[in-house]
Structures are given as structure tokens and as C-alpha cells.
Structure 1
């Protein structure tokens, strides 16, 4: 029997994706009991307005060090579900969070920070460098005895602000760009390859929905998204929403992307992982015969390509 969720403890609640997941959970708070976040003293000092806003909505703020077993065990008391939204640099901390959750009498469900590219898409996925820490998390979860889990796999984020629908500076645009101000796009591959995208606000809604469907999500990888499109279709939508004028369009072929990837890793470039992910996407590593939105009641309540482009234009306008 699948365990249900009543009281939720969130790690990484104020981060890039955590902010959206926390908001979506709060939007459904009538379905839950306690909602708490585990955060650091540093975050209290650097994000006082965000913390204050959460407190005003009834969120319990638990302060501690994520590396402290005692702090985490104490924080788990009174909660039955853990939702991790930690960023890539902190993925490895989830190993201890899972071990402690499995031995805690109250914690019954664990949602690891899986939001993004599927790390077990194909046999080749096991060798992809950006996947290694998440693969260790999955391997550990497969051994737990008293803990149920779910992986919410969304594919790349269909947003601006440094994500798939961003405007990148000229020196970085070979990795893909949709630049509203310059009306210029650099498309990955030949522009015809389909890619599955999920807006960050939809990631939040999809996680919240998964929390509310324990039977459908028990010990599963859910492959969900907002929409599937091609780079050419995306730039056509940008053209439509920016007055109809044709954009300057260029391409980064797959072979070129692989070359950039090799050079980035050889140079220990911190952006190397991002280039690898873009190569995976260009190879079709986000596509499935069908998505799992319907399993959690989210077949239609997600953003369209038009919604995502509209939002990206607004974000780029604010940052320019």
C-alpha cells in the first residue's frame, strides 16, 4: 500500500527550482497539514524577505546544517514526507538525508531532487558525467526498506533566466540562444529534433500533484513535461510574439556540440556539464512514447509553447 502525504519537509526551498516547488505545494496547502522548510543560518540572513513571506503563509522554518545528522533527525520529527529541491552542488547530501529518512519512524516518502534530464534514459546514461551523483541517489533508494520514493523527471526547464529559452552572450551562443533583443536564435542540431520542455512553474505543479497521487507514484520515475517542440517551432513562436519579423537564425550541429563538450571537460570548464546536457537533449534524450502527466491528473493543466515563450519574452525584457 502506498503511503500518503500529510506533513511535508522541504530542503532547498528557496533555491532556483525549490522556490517554484514550494509555491506550488503552498497553493495546495488545504490538502496537507504541516509544511516546513529546512534551511541554513546563511539563508536566513541572505533571503530575509523570502523567508518572511513563507512564514506569513504558515510555513515552519527549521534552521540547521544539512550535514548534521542530529539536526536532520530532529527536523524530521512530525513530518511524513521529504521533498528535496537541492541544487546540483548539494545532490550528494541527499545520500545521508535518505539514510536518515529510512531509519526514521515518521518519514514514509522521499522525493529526491530529480527535476531535469532523465539519468536512466538509456544504457549510455550511466556514463554521462553530470548524472553521477543522481545515479548514486537512485541506487541508494533502490535499497531502502521502509521508505517509498518518486522521481519527478521533467526534462530541461523551458524558461529564460539562464535556461533553455535564454538569450546567451555571443561568446556562449553556440550552446543555443533565443535572444529577443537582437532577434537572433542559435538552434541546436538541425533545428528539427524534438525536445521535451517543462517550465519551472509547471515543475512545481507537477511535484505537488505527484504528492497527491501516492498510488500512481509509488517507487516510480514519472516522465512529465509541459510540452514537446522543436527548436524551429520555438523560434517561429518567438517571431510570432515579437511582431512577425524573421529572426537571424543559425545552428550548432551535433558534431560541433560534441566538440565543444570535449573541449569544456578537457579545460575543466565549470560549464562542461551544461554542454553535455545540451548534447543529450539534441540527441533526443528527453523523448518518450507517452508522458505520465495523466497519472497525476496533469494532462492539461500545464504551460503550452505559447505560454513558455510569452513568459521568456517578459523575463528577457526585465533583464535587458
Structure 2
């Protein structure tokens, strides 16, 4: 069954807005497009919501923990898309159970956009994965006999965020275009990593909805924009910024990254999650024998050259 009437949670958030914008480029392919948002958002993002309404988006205002409000919102909806943030992932469990009980909802796309939480046996023990693993357990074990399908759109790290330094954690890798400073992860920066731009996350979700087949349901769709290495990223920055040499290029080997990660968790540092994810990526936790872009129609995605050019333009505009 193809997606027709959509309900979106987290549509006004960082990644949700990219997904919704992609969907609206094909607005005529869908019947209803609705978002569920809080009363607070109607105050803080009123102009954006007004713009959405002008594009034939229904704005449903309510509390995501209000069962009766969710049941009402599900009426006439066949596909639910979630882009709830890391701190609210557990709220999806109730949303999934209500979707399973609904006679209308047939497909649920939980908030998965990011690192593959079932890459290998060790993945089940990674601290940042625990909430998403609980959500998957509900879909795969608790309601596996219902007619509610699911798809996990697993994109790996966002390319734009991979390029940026985490304040106070420069050893975790990144690029400073203005200061011509880079810290590459790995002994020589040659460990491969697959990245996805935030715009492409939207494109990939859109094409998941448009190219629904039995092969794309009830599984993880491991998709991405491109695969590269820190060294290749640095070389591309060098090619596109020839006016000034990059004098400060250093490396953070995996063993040092692990040391920083352990110390951060022991100290209760919120940045520990960043270090864990970057360690997973450097270990190869985004690499597959093949990606699943072809299962959803091989949509057009960005390349390394475009991402680097965008970052240079962004910095130049500051």
C-alpha cells in the first residue's frame, strides 16, 4: 500500500523540517499532509506554520502525550512519520501502540535518521542507541503480528554536522574553514565513513514514501549521500580554498578517541554521546557491502564537492 495521507511528528525540528520540505516538493503525490505540534510551537514558530498552511499542510495542535488527541489525529491517516529528537524518542512507544490499535494507520516510520543501531552485536550495548532499540523492540516484537508496517530510514551521520567542531571537543574532529584548522579522525584520516546531508535525509524519506514495495517495508533502509574519508574531505577543502594554506591539520587516533569517550561518560559530560558516535563512525559503523538507495528508486543525492562548497559559502556569509 502506497503512502497517501501523512501525519508528521517533529516536523518543525532540525531534521523534521528538511523531511517536510522534501515532501512538499511532491505535495500533489499525497492526499492529506498533516503535522502534529505543540501549543508552544504555534507561538514560537507562528510564521513558519502560517507558511505551511498556505502549502496545504494541516496543523494539528495538541500534547504528544495526550492519548485522545493522538487517536483523533490518526483518523484518516495511513502513514505516520516521526522526527522526534533524541531526548523525546521514548514518546514514540505510545505513538506506535496507538497506531497499532488504529484501523487507519498502516505504516510507521520512526525517528531513525542517524547511526545504525543494529550494525553488529556490539551495537546493542552502545549507550546512545538504547532509546531507539526500545522503540524497535515494540515494533518488531510487541506488535509484529499486527498489520502495521514499519521502515527505519538509517542515514548515518549528517554530513554538515560531521564537518563541524564540537565546542570544547576539538579532538573529536572537524573543520574550521575560517581558521584553516582541521582535526581528522583516525591514525592517518583514511578510515571510511558514509555521510548524508540533511537535505538528502528529506529526499531519501520522500522517496521511501513514493517507492513503497514489500522489500522496503519492515526493515532498515541503510541509505546515504556518499562515502569518503577525513583525508579526502581535507583534500577537497584544500582544492576549494587555495587562497590560504591549511597550516593546522592534526589527527585523533581511535585509541585517543576511546580514551576521551570513556573519560566523558565517567564525568557525566553530555558530550560523551558525540564522542561515542564519532568513535563508532571511525570504526566503520556506517559501512555496508551495498547501500539501499536503489530500493527506493535511487534518488539524486549530493556529493562531497557540493557539501564542501556549501560549507565554504556558509562560513563566508557569517
Deviation at 1:297, TM superposition (A): 1.1
After superposition, the C-alpha distances for 1:129-184 in whole angstroms (9 at most, x for unaligned) are: 0000000111111132120010000000001xxx1111444x32111111000111
Q: Give 1:249's aligned residue.
A: 249
After superposition, the C-alpha distances for 1:91-121 in whole angstroms (9 at most, x for unaligned) are: 0000000000000000000000000000000
Matches within 5 A, 1:48-127: 48-127=46-125
Corresponding position: 1:152 with 2:157: no
Take 1:5 and 1:174, find their aligned partners in 2: how far apart are those partners? 44
Q: Secondary structure at the match of 1:164?
A: helix
Deviation at 1:317, TM superposition (A): 3.0
Deviation at 1:243, TM superposition (A): 2.0
Take 1:239 and 1:30, find their aligned partners in 2: how far apart are those partners? 43
Corresponding position: 1:262 with 2:262: yes
Take 2:303 and 2:31, find their aligned partners in 1: how far apart are those partners? 32
Deviation at 1:12, TM superposition (A): 0.1
Matches within 5 A, 1:4-43: 4-43=2-41
CA gap 1:274/1:168 in 2 versus in 1, 3 angstroms: closer
Take 1:231 and 1:275, find their aligned partners in 2: how far apart are those partners? 16
Corresponding position: 1:205 with 2:203: yes
Alpha carbons 1:167, 1:180 under 8 Å: kept: no
Q: Secondary structure at the match of 1:79?
A: coil
Q: Secondary structure at the match of 2:36?
A: strand
5+ long unaligned stretches in structure 1? none
Corresponding position: 1:308 with 2:302: no
Q: Give 2:177's aligned residue.
A: 180
Corresponding position: 1:288 with 2:288: yes
After superposition, the C-alpha distances for 1:226-270 in whole angstroms (9 at most, x for unaligned) are: 000000000111111112644221011111110110111111111
Q: Secondary structure at the match of 2:194?
A: strand
Q: Secondary structure at the match of 2:162?
A: coil
Take 1:158 and 1:13, find their aligned partners in 2: how far apart are those partners? 20
Q: Give 1:166's aligned residue.
A: 164
What value does the CA root-mean-square deviation take over the aligned residues? 1.1
Take 2:85 and 2:260, find their aligned partners in 1: how far apart are those partners? 24
Q: TM-score, normalised by structure 1?
A: 0.95
Q: TM-score, normalised by structure 2?
A: 0.96
User: After the TM superposition, which of the residue ranges 128-137 and 243-252 deviates more from structure 2?
Assistant: 243-252
